[in-house]
Structure 1
Amino acid sequence: MKTSKSSRLEKFVEACIRHRIAVTVIFTLLTLVMGFFAARVEVKTVFDDLLPTSHDYIEVHKRFRQDFGGSNMVSIMVEVEQGDIFNIGALEKVKKLTNDLALVHGVNPFQILSLASSKLKDIKSSTDAIESSPVMFPDVPKTAQEMDALRNTVLKSPLIYGAYVSQDLKAALITVDFYENEVDYSKIFPQIMKLVDSAQGDGVRVRVVGEPILFGWVDFYVPETMQIFMMTLACLLALLFVTARTWRGTLLPLLAGATSAIWALGAARLIGYNLDPLVIVIAFLITARSISHSVQLVTRFGDELATGASTPRAAASSAMLQLFKPGMLGVVADAGCMVVVVLTPIPLMQKISLIGTIWVLTIGLCACVMTPVLLSWVKQPKGFAHPINIAPALERLLDLCIAVATSRRRYFVLAGTAVVLLGSGAYAFKLQVGDADAGSPILWRDSRYNQDAAAINKQFQGADRMYVVFEGKQPGAIKEPAVLNSMASMQRFMGAQPEIGGSLSLVDILPMVNQVLREGNPRYRDLGRSANENGELLYMWGPDAGDAARFMEPQQTSAPVTFFFKDHRGETIRTAIHRVKEFIAENPIEQGKYVLAGGLIGVTAAVNEVIFAGQIESIALALLVLVICCAVAYRSTRAGIFFMVPVVLSNTITFSVMAWQGIGMTLSTLPVAALGIGLGVDYAFYVVDAIREELHENDNLELAIAKALRTAGMGVLITSLTLTVSVVLWFSSSLRFQAEMGILMAIWLFVSSFSALFIVPSMVYVFKPEFVMSKRKKTVADCGAMPARRMVMAA
């Protein structure tokens, strides 16, 4: 019986079903429009998106990167299989690579360094002056005598031997940097790889590393990633078809997931955002949420038909009315947990946060509204689409859930939950911020990139760089002996860290010049004793502008101390930054100050510090959003505390696995972690709301839990099984990051479903929270008071 006191939710549901043709037509037209824009979304990595918008290290990096080196430096090693590098064939390859690199997109030609470049020079004395000439430019030695002379020159130069020619003389290094405002990984990667592959062979192996190469490999695997994505959806389709046994239970959830993706990607294109290849796994995670909400509605629709709904239209209306509140609560909670990532001052995080929030919010329309609207057209089913019936197995599992929650075993479940929560919470503190492995965590350890990185770091000082800049108070400050001695002391101090393979500064040049001026006497291999003497040594060195730019500014006010790192693990970087700050604090300089930090290590240090601060803030804010959502929805602050249990459990277990497997908290994993907070509670919303609805019919809590698990619990079980099995396909990805995120998603889904089916019902039975047990007057105005199926049938 209808009443004028119908709630706004009932009016909304009634309007959606009554005007279903108009709703569907408008939704379809808008989806086509958004699809037009979604098809034009660019999938690429933008370098500037990776840098924090405000950090002291980034400011230093941007000021000095053009001269002292950026964070996109590429290192190429030419290695011979037999003999040493001093043979015509190998050196011709070094020369060709050096010359051809100048043609690569965005390259800084003044930052190409190798034996074959004009930048590496030999300093000699003559009767008239100091001569500084390239060691091997413009031609490769042709005779044995010339080759021996080159070898001797390299062995006598500490700036070349060990830095650009390996100590065993079997490899030569080429380094190249780029103008960072012109960095385009999609162009740089294929051009450099073409050069590298053309130089392979004839007893020579060429290896290459650097951020443009790393993210180039990510772009290279985009087609494979999309293939895995489509295979996962196909697997999901098959599993849904097997479990649901109906076409509506198969196609409608996938339609909900597909349309929400179209709307989100279309919105991304409209606001000018690109899609980073590394966040495709987040796209699947959100799509899974859309599918999950739709499965709940399809399952409840079937229950309504089975329990006597007069028509499919009435069943759809009833299902929508019952599940709209928990469904939208889950959507709002997910969106709230995702939007807090926007506070992380890194453009990539902010883009992911905004797109992810929009994506999650589209679920409210694509799944919570359109699924029941489309279900209202479904004809009364007369059978099943196939004979395979796994329902008895699922029902037996649900019977186990009911038996555990309604017997004394519930205490063992809660005790075990407390133990696991405390244990995983303690172990989760071992989770590292930043990379946890020496190689790139994005690719597998045996990938070509990580093997090349290991080989280059073994032969040379290190492929990753950080520079600390001394800023003088006036021009010429770097000539002061106190300043140069301080730089030398810093190099010695930092050299004690095992992960630092070497260092470079002006201090390494001037003693060589002084020695040459003294007829090569090693007693004079030292700095000048006054600023004027050091100025004379700089004058005698006589570098051109390009050579000097690596070591000092033209006004001789600022100069870098560059450190070469064997890896960029989070712990390595934190140790280095701490030691640099310790040295600076204990060794103040009157003539100026040191500022941190440029190069890839400096940029990574800034990102790690931002993430470390943002990680705690994002998780805390996401939990606060969850508490507020629950408190508002259930009008009880205890509801927020209640639902935090499955959330905290799923996240501590996941973080423990990350710490155990060496998966660090990075730019790529932080948004997944934030979204995982919402993921850990969606299932619990459906089960708790079903228990509340059943309690409005009778006072038997045991019976209410049993019915809730057989209805909402069935949807949870179907969703978790299909999604957990489907993400196994991500394990085959050539990108280690995506495979590991597949593992994390499977863990999140399993723990969340286990919590909803075992832990949450047990908590309800033991603690009897007021927001679940409270009795209200059964009026139609109370959307939860009268079971929806009775209201619709009465209407």
Structure 2
Amino acid sequence: MVEQKYNSGMPVVPDLKDFDMSSGGFFERVIFNNRILVIVACLLATVVLGFFATRLQVNASFEKMIPSSSPYIKNYLAYKSELPGLGNSIRVVVENKQGDIYNPDYLLALQKVNDTLYLIPGVDRSWMKSLWMPIVRWKEVTEEGVEGGAVMPADYDGSEASISALRRNIARAGIIGGLVANDGRSSMIVAPLLDTNPQTGEPLNYGEFSRQLEEQLRSMESDKIGIHIVGFSKLVGDLIDGLYAVMLFFGASVIIAAVFVYLYTRCLRSTLLLVGIAVAGVVWLLGLMQLLGYELDPYSILVPFLIFAIGVSHGTQKMNGILQDIGRGTHKYVAARYTFRRLFLTGLTALLCNIVGFAVLVIIDIPVIRDLALTTSIGVAVLIFTKLLLIPVALSYIGVSKKAARIAIEKDRAGEENRGFLGHVWHGLDRFTERRWATAVIALSLGVTAIGSVVMLDLKVGDLDPGAPELRPESRYNRDNAYITAHYGLSSDQFVVIMKTSEDSCRLYQSLQTMDKLAWQLRQTEGVQTTNSLAETVRFITAGMAEGSGKWLTISRDQAITNSSVDAAMISAPGITNQKCSVTPLIAYLADHKADTLNRVLKVTEDFAAQHNTAAESEQPLEFLLAAGNAGIEAATNIEVEKGIVTMYLAVYGATALLCLLTFRSWRATVVALIPLLMTTIICKALMVWLGIGLKVATLPVIAVGVGVGVDYALYLLSVQLAVQERGGSLAVAYRRSLDFTGRVVALIGLTMAAGVVTWAWSPIKFQADMGILLTFMFLWNMLGALVLIPALSHFLLNPKTTATSPEAARGEKVAGSVEQGKRVNTQAVTAH
């Protein structure tokens, strides 16, 4: 056996017959003695899981977007059946482009749209509202009391008389600004949605539902009729449509990664192998998601990108080791076993760090976030097979080109001469181990972090823009939303407070008076347009029964009068309370659903409830419960995000710190690894403030992803540095060796991952574009922070000597011959990770 040594400590074995097949651990021998079985098993798994991946559904669920264990959401779910139309609904506005709605042709077109929507599976037809639905009624005070009926006359025939009757009924119904535009040029259809498709019994497929809206309703648009559609289901449908465009970005990420890896390795076949196996890892993940009952939604689309990027980053490290070994003359099979031997345990540790970084997201009480955490953890677990096993085994067959191996060695042995500007910058990084440079870079970092800490205090939880911030302002959905906001007095942002009483107690004077008081306080709150409640309707009807006298515009203390008013209200306004008169909604129409608006309304309501709620065992129990309506549900979601972010920070940093302690066995090294991550998190939150991005369901995973992936850089560099230091090398020498062995790969991985996600900035999905920008920043900043801050922090925390060896001396030691020291460096530590 050839016993020649090189600086990684492994023997160079040019001829396979000189290699001891019984060397290495038991697991290594099992894998490499059965290479064909490993490859066949992986190929079979790829084919089978690929088949299931093609059956993976793209959808989203309203229930998965809300924190089901939140007390506010529990209230909504408990009384959901009693609050029709105050949760998940669709709003369709039909516009007359050539006049007002009092036109036979327009009303015929409105009827056609109404009937078409009525028949689409998933619509709760019993509570659908429009001018053509009998549930929309008018009421009027006459000499004989209150009269009423359906807004659309029963004998409507398109004549002038019937249209005039319709005009009167609309005025008497008080629906201008609600179901009829303020300018009278359009009217609205409001359709609550069911959770399941009544034809199939399966959960409502929002992608399919949105497609039917486009095909059956939007197709009715013409130069005379305009169609505007808003609602959660339409928003999700547009996001799902955007996903198909996003899949093109995945293709772009694959190409970018292949280019970066090829430029580094200059070996086409190994680059294609590496990228192909990374794609196979994504296929495995998607197949497993389908088998486990998951769906691909607009939020989990992040997962395939991450798994591919992580697979490429770790796979590049394997290829780097094999390149080095083959370049020094080792047979490709032996080089693959050396790489497996050196990197399996440390690679496994790295993946565990990634899994922990993602898994802690399960503590966020929002199902879509939990699904993302679990699917990402599954995807990283898949990489144990594709990255740690399949790549070395496959490379043991194909190896790398001689040219690529020669280039790798030449780069490694290159001297100071013939380096360009970037080369001198790279080889000057070890200057940060000197006290003056270390002090300067730490002071600068602290200054930037201090500024970021001040700025991030302005970070808001929730949406910061009107409309649907998930989509771009120029999207069709946001243009539709802008039209509705401009032409209707009542917005689609409804904050619903539930008044709960004992059966029939909503009729009591005290209950109605307290509800009316809350409605008044809400109307005085900035951001509230108006309110609607049983108490307000009862006041109007009471005055109507008293010949319209303004003196009777009140809630009567005479229970008989109030009972009559409540009965009339239940007939004229279905849904204003339930049949038992025990669950009564108070609806506040908000100007928008921005975080500040929701917080103001939430505070007013919480304070009022705390003051006026009575115990369930009291004589007249009365409770004001939060919250229903799309704005109320969003407010509850924001609360859970705000509560969960602190817990998530503690969990992700605590778990990462524990794994670093187990890896380095040094609290000082753990601190050095974590400080750059902490700084990145703070600066990233400041960046969100500068870019106008709120902290919400879509952006919450970014922090955990940045920490989970970013800690790899520290593991790459510190493992080598500490190993050299343990064997007597100075800090400067140790850090220079970590740069030579793993630093280039750290830079490559940071650039590759950033280049892969920066393409998201052009995504039609706004929140994904935001995620792309934030992830690009975190990947690059983590990389730069690791390369610059680790040596600087090491000078103060990991330097056993009072004065570190100068970089010049370090380079002199390297060039002049610290070969003996290199021989002593344990291979596993040197190329760790």
> TM-score w.r.t. structure 2 length?
0.86
Aligned equivalent of 2:553? 525
Match of 2:158 among 126, 142, 147: 142
- Whether 2:91 is the aligned partner of 1:91: answer no
Q: Is the 8 A contact 1:430 1:659 kept in 2?
A: yes
Compared CA separation, residues 476 and 247, structure 1 to 2 (3 A): same
1:217 CA drift (Å): 0.5
The residue number in structure 2 matching 1:445 is: 473
Instruction: State which of 689, 705, 711 in structure 2 corresponds to 1:659.
Output: 689
Q: Secondary structure at 2:585's aligned position in 1?
A: strand
How big is the shift at 1:103?
0.7
Taking the aligned partners of 1:332 and 1:231, their CA distance within structure 2 comes to 28
SS at match of 1:559: strand
Question: Residues 408, 687 of structure 1: CA spacing in aligned structure 2 closer, same or farther, 3 A cutoff?
Answer: same
Structure 2 counterpart of 1:354: 374
Deviation (angstroms), 1:569: 2.3
Distance 1:575 1:139, change over 3 A: farther
1:132-162 CA distance string (max 9 Å, x none): 211224565634454344334433443x122
**Counterpart selection for 1:586 from 611, 632, 635:** 611
Structure 2 partner of 1:634: 664
Which of the residues 761, 764, 770 maps onto 1:734?
Answer: 764
Distance 1:732 1:596, change over 3 A: same
Letter matched to residue 678 of structure 2: V
| Counterpart AA for 1:168 | D
User: Quick one: distance in 2 between partners of 1:770 and 1:404?
Assistant: 16
Pick from 571, 582, 594 the counterpart of residue 569 of structure 1.
594
Equivalent runs, 1:299-378 vs 2, <5 Å: 299-306=320-327, 308-378=328-398
CA deviations over 1:260-289 (Å, ceiling 9, x no partner):
223322322232222223221232123211
Distance 2:397 2:712 in 1: 27
Give the C-alpha shift of residue 339 in structure 1.
Answer: 1.0
Instruction: Decide which moves more: 661-670 or 211-220.
Output: 661-670
Q: Judge conservation of contact 1:38–1:265 (CA < 8 Å) in 2.
A: yes
Task: Name the aligned partner's letter for residue 477 of structure 1.
Answer: S
**What residue is the counterpart of 1:59 in the other structure?**
74
Gaps of 5+ in 1: 774-782
Distance 1:397 1:324 in 2: 32
User: CA separation of 1:11/1:650 partners in 2, compared to 1, >3 Å: closer, same or farther?
Assistant: farther
Q: Which amino acid aligns with 1:447?
A: S
- The CA distance in 1 between the partners of 2:399 and 2:222, in whole Å, is 67
Would the aligned equivalents of 2:344 and 2:388 in 1 still touch at CA under 8 Å?
Answer: yes
Paired amino acid for 1:91: L
Q: Structure 1 residues 401, 517: CA separation in 2 closer, same or farther (over 3 Å shift)? A: same
**How much does 1:647 deviate?**
1.4
Distance apart, 1:218 and its partner CA: 1.1
On the 8 A contact 1:243/1:389 being kept in 2, the answer is no
Q: In the alignment, is the contact (CA less than 8 A) between 2:153 and 2:162 conserved in 1? A: no
Partner of 2:635: 605
Equivalence for 1:716: 746
Q: Determine which of 10, 32, 35 is the counterpart of 1:20.
A: 35
Aligned length: 774
Taking a change above 3 Å as real, the CA distance of residues 389 and 110 of structure 1, as seen in their structure-2 partners, is farther
Secondary structure of residue in 1 paired with 2:693: coil
Match of 1:428 in 2: 456
1:283 maps to 2:308: no
SS of 2:299's equivalent in the other structure is: helix
- Report whether the alignment pairs 1:293 with 2:314: yes
Do 2:97 and 2:223's aligned partners in 1 also have CA atoms closer than 8 Å? no
The verdict on how the C-alpha distance between 1:146 and 1:639 changes in structure 2, with shifts beyond 3 A counting, is: same
Write the letter of the residue equivalent to 2:44. L
Quote the residue 2:441 is aligned against: 413
Q: How many angstroms apart in 2 are the aligned matches of 1:790 and 1:571?
A: 52
Match of 2:58 in 1: 43
Following superposition, the deviation at residue 714 of structure 1 comes to: 0.9
Quickly say closer, same or farther: Cα 1:646–1:14, change in 2 above 3 A: farther
**Shift in alpha-carbon separation, 1:540–1:612, aligned structure 2, 3 A:** closer
Query: Paired residue for 1:166, among 171, 178, 181?
Result: 181
From 244, 247, 250, the counterpart of 1:223 = 244
Distance in 2, matches of 1:606 and 1:785, equals 59
Q: Aligned partners of 1:726 and 1:343: how far apart in 2? A: 28
Structure 2 counterparts to residues 239-278 of structure 1, below 5 A: 239-278=260-299
Matched residue SS, 2:132: coil
1:470 aligns with 2:470: no
- For residue 680 of structure 2, the aligned residue among 642, 650, 668 is 650
Pick closer, same or farther for the CA change 1:702–1:322 going to 2, 3 Å: farther
Partners of 2:87 and 2:567 in 1: how far apart? 31
Give the equivalent residue in structure 1 for 2:93. Answer: 77
Q: Which amino acid aligns with 2:105?
A: G
Equivalent in the alignment of 2:581: 556
Mapping of 1:648-727 within 5 angstroms? 648-695=678-725, 699-727=729-757
Identity percentage over the alignment? 24
Per the alignment, do residues 248 and 697 of structure 1 end up closer, same or farther by CA in structure 2, a change over 3 Å counting?
farther
Which 10-residue stretch deviates more, 664-673 or 27-36?
27-36
1:175 paired with 2:190, answer yes
Query: What amino acid is aligned across from residue 75 of structure 2 in structure 1?
Result: V
Q: CA deviation at 1:672?
A: 3.0
Q: In 2 relative to 1, CA 146–415 (structure 1 residues): closer, same or farther, beyond 3 Å?
A: same
Contact 1:45-1:277 within 8 A present in 2 as well: yes
Shift of 1:386: 14
Contact 1:395-1:710 at 8 Å conserved across structures: no
Q: Distance in 2 between matches of 1:333 and 1:466?
A: 41
Q: Quick one: distance in 2 between partners of 1:598 and 1:22?
A: 57
Q: Aligned-pair distance for 1:576?
A: 1.4
Judging changes above 3 Å, is the alpha-carbon distance between structure 1 residues 695 and 255 closer, same or farther for their aligned structure 2 residues?
Answer: farther
In 1, distance between residues paired with 2:270 and 2:476? 43
- Aligned-residue CA RMSD in angstroms? 3.3
User: Shift in Å at residue 7 of structure 1?
Assistant: 14
State the match for 2:427 in structure 1. 399
Say whether the 8 Å CA contact 2:430–2:735 is kept in structure 1.
yes
Cα drift, residue 227 of structure 1: 1.8
Aligned residue type for 1:595: L
CA contact (8 A) 1:647 1:678 kept: no
- Residues 139/739 of structure 1: CA separation in 2 closer, same or farther (3 Å cut): farther
Distance 1:405 1:19, change over 3 A: farther
Look up the equivalent residue of 2:119 and give its one-letter code.
Answer: L
Distance 1:304 1:732 in 2: 41
Q: Which runs of 5+ in 2 are unaligned?
A: 4-9, 12-20, 198-203, 412-418, 615-619, 805-821
Q: 1:714 to 1:593 in 2, by over 3 A?
A: same
- Give a deviation string over 1:279-303, Cα, whole Å, max 9, x none: 2123212321111111122123223
Aligned pair in 2 of structure 1 residues 90, 696: CA closer, same or farther (>3 Å)?
same
Q: Deviations over 1:225-282 (max 9, x none)?
A: 2122112212322332233211255223313422322332232223222222322123
1:198 aligns with 2:213: no
Q: Give the Å deviation of 1:683.
A: 1.3
> SS of the residue aligned with 1:553?
coil
In structure 1, what is the Cα distance between the partners aligned to 2:407 and 2:744?
19
**What amino acid does structure 2 have at the position aligned with 1:557?**
S
Query: Which residue number corresponds to residue 132 of structure 1?
Result: 148
Inter-CA distance 213–768: structure 2 relative to 1 (3 Å threshold): same
CA distance, structure 1, for counterparts of residue 610 and residue 69 of structure 2: 23
SS of 2:371's equivalent in the other structure is: helix
Distance 2:371 2:449 in 1: 33
With 39-48 and 99-108 compared, the bigger mean Cα shift is at: 39-48
